[in-house]
Structure 1
Amino acid sequence: MIIINGLFKWVYDAGNWLSKVMYLHFLWVLFTLLGLGVFGISPATAALFSVIHKWFEEDFDIPIFKYFYSVYKTQFIKSNRLGFILIGIGIFLYIDINISQKYIQSFYVHLFLIIIIFLYFLTALYLFPVFVRYELKFFLYFKQSFLVALARPLETIAMIICIFLLFYLLKFLPILLFFAGSSIIAYPLAWFAFRACVQIEEKRLT
């Protein structure tokens, strides 16, 4: 009887988690579209990570829509500034690496750009988790994200591994991308970023 009750509880918890993850993805898509895509994706992503961060920090039963909409509305301008700078740097680095490959053709220049792109990628992994956890001056979000990535290499490596695994999972089951893509991608990234931040904070206190 205990085993049956435990099994039912596990099935219920799994179904509850899946329904909330799917609902959160629906909100992300909806509010991204409401912001006309380019103006909606960053605040929607900030709201997405905020809800997941709240799950880890406090309660899994928070009112998802109310909290999502609150973050989307209050952080709309700030998160867009963050997103546009991140995308702008990414485009700039993409152009640079193509120029280096086609015209400069210097091994050392190309290697330098690859290292910069890798560091940019690490910063991008932590940017929204750091944004929703801390209240910082604007450009310190980039610095803090970079420092957390370097300070907690195990969590950073785990995040990179997750990205590769999710790439193959979503390639194999693309229907997941349609029903819960943003949440499935954000959840493990938010979890490892959360662990990294907590570990750093605990070390500061000791």
Structure 2
Amino acid sequence: MKLGGFDGLFFRSCEVISKLAYVNALWFLFTVIGLGVFGIAPATVALFTINRKWMLGETDVPIFNTYWKVYRKEFLKSNLLGLALMIVGFILYVDLAYLPTEGFVYTIIRYAIIAVSFVFLIVLLYIFPVYVHFNGNLRKYFKYALVCGLSYPHFTFMMIIAAMLLYTGLSLFPGIIPFFSFCMLAYMVMWIALQVFKRVENAVIEKQQKVEVVKEKM
């Protein structure tokens, strides 16, 4: 096993770690530049874009220039997405927090809200990977995120488990939060989402091929 040299395992591991720490710092920086509320959505889109490029083989992508370009380009559209997510999340939170706990009707309503909240969680996990992978409008992004999450529940479960493991790790080692918190979460979610997207795209291709075969036979 090679440990030294530019092609060694040690160097490549250090390179990956340094890149993840760098994009994590950029996420915090650009979130602050956008005054927090207006910066978090475009910063997150830029972060997922960088991760997606790495996973598709574009390992030499200029990180800062790409981050800044995506941040500026997607600033307005991504903020609309972020606003929609915040509104839905706030409504669900208020409903669960202030809904009376006594009474049969309220119990049914509470379980219904919990079910809707779980669906919202699925959308939340997939929405940014969908945003950077597919072209479309906000309505299509929500639709694709929901369909992908519900169609492949085992991958969705993997995302949830990965997020829980990351949370546990960060709780045990809080000192690494400024360096590897959100970038690690985005990296894991993006990688799992890409596995789902490949299956979705293959399923679409197979369906089109079957339609073409049927047309030929007619």
TM-score (norm 1): 0.94
Unaligned regions of 5+ residues in structure 1, if any? none
State the alpha-carbon separation in 2 of the partners of residues 203 and 56 from structure 1: 21
1:14, distance to aligned residue in structure 2 (A): 0.8
Higher relative contact order (CA 8 A, sep 6+): 1
1:155, distance to aligned residue in structure 2 (A): 1.1
- State the partner residue of 1:12: 11
After superposition, give the CA deviation of every residue in 1:123-152 in whole Å (9 maximum; x if it has no partner). Answer: 000000000011112211111100000111
> Over aligned residues, Cα RMSD in angstroms?
1.3
1:103, distance to aligned residue in structure 2 (A): 6.7
The answer to whether the 8 A contact 2:101-2:107 is kept is no
- State the partner residue of 1:117: 117
> What are the equivalent positions in structure 2 for 1:17-166 lying under 5 Å apart?
17-102=16-101, 106-166=106-166
Bigger mean CA deviation after superposition, 101-110 or 191-200: 101-110
Q: Against the structure 1 CA distance between its residues 29 and 186, is the aligned structure 2 distance closer, same or farther, given a 3 Å change threshold?
A: same
After superposition, give the CA deviation of every residue in 1:172-191 in whole Å (9 maximum; x if it has no partner). Answer: 01112111211111110111
State the alpha-carbon separation in 1 of the partners of residues 175 and 196 from structure 2: 31
The letter for the 1-side match of 2:148 is V
The letter for the 1-side match of 2:42 is P
After superposition, give the CA deviation of every residue in 1:68-104 in whole Å (9 maximum; x if it has no partner). Answer: 1111000000000000100110000000112224576
> Sequence identity, in percent?
34
Bigger mean CA deviation after superposition, 127-136 or 173-182: 173-182
